[in-house]
Structure 1
């Protein structure tokens, strides 16, 4: 549903209820969409966030692969005598 900002001032409580129920509520200004009301997701507690971060780190560590050493990363640019190729 689309509602102008001016009209929304008088029915904000109802619009919030509808957005929480899953309806798409778009507030318009001068006929153009300005904002969309969406319900907040539940904020995870500290323990859940920590577990998620540990899982992400473990996944990243499992995917990480050793590359060439940085000291020799540009050797392909130079010949054996040290001059640019």
Structure 2
């Protein structure tokens, strides 16, 4: 929303309320943008950040396949002496 500085003087309380609700207001002078009234981003506490990281790390614990790793995935092709079977 664009508002001239002269109009913003009379509407400041309403413009701040709108910014609190998430709207961004651009102040203009003679149609040129000069300033912005915007909502302040909420900062997470360290414990909130830790909880998010723990949750994300927990989602990566799924295993895929039969549990065979790459080093042993072709063992069935060879006999006990390491020769093709």
Compute the TM-score of the two structures, normalised by the length of structure 2. Answer: 0.48
Compute the TM-score of the two structures, normalised by the length of structure 1. Answer: 0.48
